[in-house]
Amino acid sequence: MLLDETARGVFVISVTPFTEDGSLDLDSTDRLVDFYREKGATGLTVLGMMGEAPKLTADESAAFVQRVLDRAGSDLPVVVGVSAPGFAAMKELSDRVMQMGAAGVMVAPPSALRTDQQLYGYFTGVADVIGADVPFVLQDFPLATSVQMSADLIIRIIRDVPSCVMLKHEDWPGLAKIDALRAAGRKDGLRRISILAGNGGMFLPEELRRGSDGAMTGFGYPEMMADVQAAHDRGDTDRAQDLFDAYLPLARYEQQPGLGLALRKAILARRGAIASAHARRPAPKLSPADMADIEFLITRQERRLKELN
């Protein structure tokens, strides 16, 4: 089951669960995959650049990916982040995870690249190195990479690199970029690839209206994204926005740079999706005031959702 241009829905960016003592928690990994599936995930993404994947050793990475793939089974495609400073390491990781059963890989540009020329060269090189038969997700995430990719450039890549089948759209929020890519499809016959939105879903309703196919991101309540998209797909724009608005105060809170991952893990642990909110060092710690904010927002969120049902 390989990823292709028709992918849609919610690809949850998975956290990496640890036990309280900091070791990889493979039991929680099973539980987490089940949780994501129950809450509406149509796919999973692991070893993304913002999670704790860089804090795993090579052996742990392999064990974690294997466990996720085993649990995800044949109906939940798994994308694996393979961004790396060199093509050799990228190829090695890509080869390994594709053999293990990944649906595709995801690549973000190195932050030293700036010009269209450099970036075009990089992504044609990526496709060449990992192999034309490996579908890949282009991760456009300027806030993290400092790399800005214009619509023109992405259009060139889509045109010339058939194995680029999805854009993880994490420009903030870059609605005009979705407009431009979809217009290029309508006017110039550009191949229509999948566009999944990032940024914790903070602009999901607008992104869906502009032509995105769902979300690839990691809010602690993934059902928000699934439910918003379902309402959107039914044409019920107001319902989609009502649901979105109900989750927005918490989604906003979880999106705090630096603190975001700790908050997400605290929410997932509170929901029973993982056994511990432990994050590997170096990591920020939540204060009692942070925990109180989460409780306050979750209580209100539940009340608001009840009002809406």
| Choice between 136 and 244, CB closer to a copy of itself | 244
| Choice between 3 and 279, CB closer to a copy of itself | 279
Q: State the nearest-atom distance from the C-beta of 197 to a copy of itself, in Å.
A: 14
Three-state SS across 2-39? CCCCCCCEEEEECCCCECCCCCECHHHHHHHHHHHHHC
Distance in angstroms between the alpha carbons of the first and the last residue of the chain: 36
Q: State the nearest-atom distance from the C-beta of 75 to a copy of itself, in Å.
A: 32
Q: State the nearest-atom distance from the C-beta of 119 to a copy of itself, in Å.
A: 9
**Is 49 annotated in some ligand binding site?**
no
| Choice between 59 and 75, CB closer to a copy of itself | 59
Distance in angstroms (rounded) separating the CA atoms of residues 120 and 269:
41
How many Cα atoms within 13 Å fall on the side-chain side of residue 72?
27
Binding residues (CB under 8 A) for a copy of itself: these are: 22, 52, 54-58, 60, 84-89, 92, 110, 114-118, 121-122, 125, 129, 142, 147-153, 172-173, 175-176, 179, 202-203, 206, 209-210, 237-238, 241, 244-245, 248-249, 252-253, 256-257, 280-282, 287, 289-290, 293, 296, 300, 304
Q: Is 196 helix (H, G, I), strand (E, B) or coil?
A: strand
Q: State the nearest-atom distance from the C-beta of 142 to a copy of itself, in Å.
A: 8
Where would I find the H helices in the chain?
26-38, 58-72, 87-100, 116-130, 142-145, 151-160, 175-188, 204-210, 222-233, 237-254, 260-270, 288-308
Distance in angstroms (rounded) separating the CA atoms of residues 49 and 106:
10
């979300």: which residue's tokens?
215
Residues in the chain: 309
Q: State the nearest-atom distance from the C-beta of 61 to a copy of itself, in Å.
A: 9
| Choice between 70 and 290, CB closer to a copy of itself | 290
| Choice between 72 and 157, CB closer to a copy of itself | 157
| Choice between 3 and 50, CB closer to a copy of itself | 50
Q: State the nearest-atom distance from the C-beta of 44 to a copy of itself, in Å.
A: 21
Distance in angstroms (rounded) separating the CA atoms of residues 277 and 279:
6
How many Cα atoms within 13 Å fall on the side-chain side of residue 141?
23
Could you tell me the two tokens for 149? 């990719």
Binding site, annotated residues for pyruvate: 216
